[in-house]
A and B are shown apart, each in its own frame.
Chain A
């Protein structure tokens, strides 16, 4: 009977998590952002021609807007587009799908990790529950975010490695390593995070590793295979290099250079050492790192609008006391056996701290199952309270969590489209479809630079034939200041009489007549369509 209840609860939670990830996936958020559109169109191009938007055959890294994308998400989207067509749903499907599977991976991982502890099943169950309803996970499962798929592979890899060691099975260990490798081919952050994590695993299981040389061999295989990525293409790291904070020397060092000059004038050697570039960089890294523990970021404000529900952070406010208690109990009880969890927690922000723009919820998505595990430990600790207290605290916490969850659902599912329209590039879809119609009548359309990366939306929403597009030169066109696809001109082009202009900026009315305004859901104007005389 008890077992049956457990199984029913398990499936209910899983199905609920799936529901939260798939419910109205195509319309909440109501529009694709440019990365999603690029992923989608590249997958579409691969599906039909075997080449990407630039015409490369089955590339190992995808060039996109002067950046490079890891390949796996795009290849996963190919079957999705085959089945569902070139739609918003199809582009987001892999993320929602793997986000749902991660719920199961979290359960398995926690279960495997704490198997010998008293409340292992409850811990695994609560971790899974909190992950299923986690705003952080839901946020990135409901958009085509490569990081979310990558998180699945990291969690699964972790689970398989622990399981492989526990049962001493080479095959499972191999699968775990493969899973880690796949995560590296899915998202950039993992290129730093996963090697660090694997090193941690090796030290954590050093006894096993010393007795079973195949484990060490597998780790070596991992490092060789992950470096193979660099052999395929040096572009794989371009994104990382362009974003690291050392590339922002001027702004970062400005202040210290001033003081350095003053120190030199004063002959202050000590001061000169302190303002040294390396010392400043170390400081910036630590500062970036610690911003990821700012409670406001975690619970109240979040960072970019695309990374959290309106008016909320990515963790439930109600979970704060349970997190603190959970971390305390973890340190007291589980640290020796499962310190890898704490290690995972502490290295999660490292990749994000190396680049500009901290804190960053997407780059630190690998934080994820750990917050939920700590929270679960906090909740399970209630069970050790005395009878009366236990019922009281449990119910109170449950009610509060429910309220918090309901608030989140309201903020996300009801308000994201009205509040965050600009951040999801709302209006581009209508604009490019409008442009397509006008273009069919052999009229010229201009989309100026205020419409960022408009061409990819044009390709995506109008299902432009990739073969035709590649024949025109593919996205190499976009390297020009002004380029056209059919009769639609993008970028900084001149003016022409009797043409249509689509722009995000309101224009001088004298030379242009406004034909149409595209509005956000909240009634604010998004884009304007003009006709020149």
Chain B
């Protein structure tokens, strides 16, 4: 085998190591979306194809918490649970696997994009940068739908370019891959169509040949047919629920209207003012602000996403050493002035377009589709720099050595922080303690009439189903569910477990009740049976009786 192939194997192995190593305990616990996906997959597996809500093989979405989850990751988790059993590893396996595969396919994509350079350095540096990327590692180590969707996005583009260069029939595979991407995560529902438009504008001339017409039509048909269930889903009100919940256009509507009116009033309601301070203008500026958030240097290089489930707060989404590489690479790619330039920059600019409609920006997960472009630019930057210095062998050698030292130190610092400090500091955000609390409670449950379980930490029922090993068939019989005004499903009780926002109720008097609550919820005069702590030592769950 050639040297570059060995290097590629090494890079993919490194990627796998960084994505699979200790995956059951770092992050320290399953957060609720992970458990929900795991339980739905488990339910499909054990009931012959019924999900948590007793729906048979849902295609377009899973109801889950009423947030209508994308289906792809759940179906991928089914075989994973079949093989590895019902545990944390199995739930996180698909994301880690496809994260590793993304690294592999970024190699193929980079090779295809910079085909005319025939340069192993570029096509190997891109997957290497992705393999060690804090952004991608953190998203690959938990069951994130977006991470799966990113894989299918990369695969789709790669297959598209392959179809252009080799066999037009590969276009059908590209079409399928894009469709799966659309099914896999909500941000991709907007991003992938935009990407397809970009690809079409760039490369339609390459496909304008007689022998290529049939494959094009075939791929269009395949894609459209596969999308039918999804399009039907889009026409239902549920599909808009989640969008409306997070969208700035609903969330900030009141503020925007207020601001617009205030400015118009300050100009005595003149017609000109009504045009200038139209709420659409303010909405556009607001949207741009959320869009620009994705280019915030603090987010990219220093603190990362403010949500500790996506980023450990101490390191940026990208390494600081990537900044000069990305700048050099962007410049060099721009200098080429070819289709690859437009494709990469187009991808780069379009990637946050969907994510910027949400109120939480910058968002590492919804912004994930643009990681590959950063790594591609970084890789090109490495090549360009080495090209610039190629005349001065001595300086080039020192730069390489210095660069490698910086990379090793940066990666080591990241890993040190991630594996040692991060789990302890943020176990609250990962809903740590549910597992321990459920197991402890189950040991005691037979002694009590009612178990009052706090809903303080959110969605306790799914943890009971998962860690309490309650089969779906049982749950369908003994679970009581209500809907709230936002359309979310609220499970209030499963058997003798009651999930309460007010832990103590007046009807408890005279019954034997086990209280499982957060620290502030248990009165001082109660008898504490057991307490469970977060990893930073702060109290988490307390089991107590009257």
A residues in contact (CB < 8 Å) with B: 259, 262, 266, 268, 270-271, 274, 283, 286-287, 290-291, 293-296, 299-301, 311, 317, 328, 331-332, 406-407, 410, 414-415, 418, 522
Contact A414–B421 (Cβ < 8 Å): no
Complex CA gap A290/B528 in Å reads 51
Contact B292–A414 (Cβ < 8 Å): no
- 14 sampled A-B residue pairs with Cβ under 8 A: A259-B421, A268-B416, A271-B421, A274-B416, A286-B301, A286-B302, A287-B297, A294-B297, A296-B289, A299-B292, A301-B289, A317-B288, A332-B335, A414-B267
Contact B331–A328 (Cβ < 8 Å): yes
Contact B296–A296 (Cβ < 8 Å): yes
| A residues in contact with B263, CB < 8 Å | 415
| B residues in contact with A287, CB < 8 Å | 297-298, 301-302
Which chain A residue lies CB-closest to B277?
A: A410
| A residues in contact with B266, CB < 8 Å | 414-415, 418, 522
Q: Chain B 415-456, CB within 8 Å of chain A: the 1/0 string?
A: 011001100100000000000000000000000000000000
| A residues in contact with B416, CB < 8 Å | 268, 270-271, 274
Contact of B297 among A266, A291, A331, A332 (CB under 8 A): A291
Chain A: minimal CB distance from B420 (Å): 7
| A residues in contact with B292, CB < 8 Å | 294-296, 299-300
Q: Chain B contact residues: over half helix, strand or loop, or mixed?
A: helix
Which chain B residue lies CB-closest to A270?
A: B416
Chain A: minimal CB distance from B504 (Å): 36
State the 4 A-B residue pairs at the shortest beta-carbon distance, nearest first.
A290-B297, A295-B292, A296-B292, A300-B289
Complex CA gap A300/B295 in Å reads 13
Chain A: minimal CB distance from B260 (Å): 11
| B residues in contact with A414, CB < 8 Å | 266-267
Which chain A residue lies CB-closest to B290?
A: A296
Chain A: minimal CB distance from B388 (Å): 12
| A residues in contact with B320, CB < 8 Å | 286
Complex CA gap A406/B273 in Å reads 12
Confirm or deny: B276 has a beta carbon within 8 angstroms of a beta carbon on chain A.
Answer: yes
Confirm or deny: B533 has a beta carbon within 8 angstroms of a beta carbon on chain A.
Answer: no
Taking A271-B420, A291-B298, A331-B331 as known contacts, 13 extra A-B pairs with beta carbons closer than 8 A to each other, sorted by chain A number, are A270-B416, A274-B416, A286-B320, A287-B301, A290-B297, A294-B296, A294-B297, A296-B289, A296-B292, A299-B292, A332-B335, A407-B276, A522-B262
Confirm or deny: B246 has a beta carbon within 8 angstroms of a beta carbon on chain A.
Answer: no
Complex CA gap A177/B420 in Å reads 55
Complex CA gap A332/B335 in Å reads 8
Confirm or deny: B334 has a beta carbon within 8 angstroms of a beta carbon on chain A.
Answer: yes
Complex CA gap A290/B296 in Å reads 9
Chain B: minimal CB distance from A206 (Å): 19
Chain A: minimal CB distance from B285 (Å): 6
Chain A: minimal CB distance from B229 (Å): 39
Chain A: minimal CB distance from B465 (Å): 35
Confirm or deny: B253 has a beta carbon within 8 angstroms of a beta carbon on chain A.
Answer: no
| A residues in contact with B267, CB < 8 Å | 414
Complex CA gap A406/B275 in Å reads 12
Complex CA gap A331/B332 in Å reads 10
| A residues in contact with B289, CB < 8 Å | 296, 300-301
Complex CA gap A291/B266 in Å reads 33
Chain A: minimal CB distance from B507 (Å): 45
Confirm or deny: B401 has a beta carbon within 8 angstroms of a beta carbon on chain A.
Answer: no
Confirm or deny: B481 has a beta carbon within 8 angstroms of a beta carbon on chain A.
Answer: no
Contact A283–B421 (Cβ < 8 Å): no
| A residues in contact with B296, CB < 8 Å | 294-296
A296-B293 contact in complex given A291-B298, A407-B276, A415-B263, C-beta closer than 8 Å: yes
Report the tally of A-B residue pairs with Cβ distances under 8 A: 68
| A residues in contact with B417, CB < 8 Å | 271, 274
Chain B: minimal CB distance from A317 (Å): 7
A290-B331 contact in complex given A274-B413, A300-B289, A300-B292, C-beta closer than 8 Å: no
Q: Chain B 306-344, CB within 8 Å of chain A: the 1/0 string?
A: 000000000000001000000000010011000000000
Which chain B residue lies CB-closest to A271?
A: B416
Confirm or deny: B412 has a beta carbon within 8 angstroms of a beta carbon on chain A.
Answer: yes
Contact B288–A293 (Cβ < 8 Å): no
A300-B285 contact in complex given A268-B416, A415-B263, C-beta closer than 8 Å: yes
Contact A270–B276 (Cβ < 8 Å): no
Complex CA gap A520/B353 in Å reads 39
| A residues in contact with B334, CB < 8 Å | 328
| A residues in contact with B288, CB < 8 Å | 299-300, 317
Which chain A residue lies CB-closest to B421?
A: A259
Complex CA gap A311/B424 in Å reads 41
Which chain A residue lies CB-closest to B295?
A: A295
Contact A290–B420 (Cβ < 8 Å): no
| A residues in contact with B298, CB < 8 Å | 287, 290-291, 294
Q: Chain B 209-245, CB within 8 Å of chain A: the 1/0 string?
A: 0000000000000000000000000000000000000
| B residues in contact with A317, CB < 8 Å | 288
Contact A283–B335 (Cβ < 8 Å): no
| A residues in contact with B420, CB < 8 Å | 262, 266, 268, 271
Complex CA gap A296/B298 in Å reads 12
Complex CA gap A130/B416 in Å reads 49
Which chain B residue lies CB-closest to A279?
A: B413
| A residues in contact with B297, CB < 8 Å | 287, 290-291, 293-294
Complex CA gap A238/B520 in Å reads 49
Chain A: minimal CB distance from B227 (Å): 34
| B residues in contact with A283, CB < 8 Å | 302
Contact A270–B412 (Cβ < 8 Å): yes
| B residues in contact with A259, CB < 8 Å | 421
A311-B421 contact in complex given A270-B412, A415-B263, C-beta closer than 8 Å: no
| A residues in contact with B285, CB < 8 Å | 300, 311
Complex CA gap A317/B302 in Å reads 26
Chain A: minimal CB distance from B174 (Å): 31
Chain A: minimal CB distance from B216 (Å): 30
Q: Chain B 262-286, CB within 8 Å of chain A: the 1/0 string?
A: 1100110000000010000010010
Which chain A residue lies CB-closest to B299?
A: A294
Chain B: minimal CB distance from A339 (Å): 14
| B residues in contact with A300, CB < 8 Å | 285, 288-289, 292
Please report which residues of chain B, range 333-359, place their CB below 8 angstroms from some CB of chain A when the two chains form the complex: 334-335
Chain B: minimal CB distance from A345 (Å): 13
Complex CA gap A293/B420 in Å reads 32
Complex CA gap A294/B293 in Å reads 8
Which chain A residue lies CB-closest to B297?
A: A290
Complex CA gap A300/B282 in Å reads 11
Please report which residues of chain B, range 457-475, place their CB below 8 angstroms from some CB of chain A when the two chains form the complex: none
Chain A: minimal CB distance from B268 (Å): 11
Q: Chain B 56-89, CB within 8 Å of chain A: the 1/0 string?
A: 0000000000000000000000000000000000
Chain A: minimal CB distance from B408 (Å): 11
Complex CA gap A283/B301 in Å reads 10
